[in-house]
């Protein structure tokens, strides 16, 4: 089975959403990372990035050096988007063909 990491990208520093997002996705994905601009906290699965929120596509390039390379796929979503509840780490490839 392929190994996938769920990467949740914040375009603004709104750390208050971390507990809610963890609660939503922790049963569906074993490996979850959060990419948050200017994060200064101590959560080990939160990746700090440094760029303007209008150019948040650069966050991915900055975050890649922190994300373990043990994954076959990376599923990127925004912090203000809810991934279809039917999608999880075991069946994501049925939904996203490439």
- Angle subtended at Cα 49 by Cα 44 and Cα 54, rounded to the nearest 5 degrees: 140
Over residues 24-31, the mean pLDDT reads 97
For the entire predicted model, the pTM comes to: 0.91
In angstroms, what CA-CA distances link 48 with 2, 14, 91?
Answer: 26, 12, 29
Q: What is the distance between the alpha carbons of residues 19 and 81, in angstroms, rounded to a whole number?
A: 15
Residues 92 and 34 sit within 8 Å (Cβ to Cβ): no
pLDDT one-digit tens code per residue, 33-45: 999 999 999 999 9
pLDDT one-digit tens code per residue, 45-98: 999 999 887 777 789 889 988 887 889 999 999 999 999 999 999 999 999 876
């Amino acid at each position: 089975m392929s190994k996938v990491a769920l990467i949740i990208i914040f375009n603004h520093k709104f750390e208050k959403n971390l507990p809610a997002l963890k609660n939503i996705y922790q049963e569906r994905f074993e490996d979850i990372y959060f990419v948050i601009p200017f994060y200064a906290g101590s959560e080990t699965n939160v990746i700090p990035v440094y760029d303007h929120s209008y150019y948040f596509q650069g966050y991915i390039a900055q975050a890649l050096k922190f994300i373990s390379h043990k994954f076959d796929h990376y599923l990127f979503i925004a912090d203000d988007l809810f991934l279809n509840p039917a999608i999880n780490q075991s069946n994501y490839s049925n939904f996203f063909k490439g």
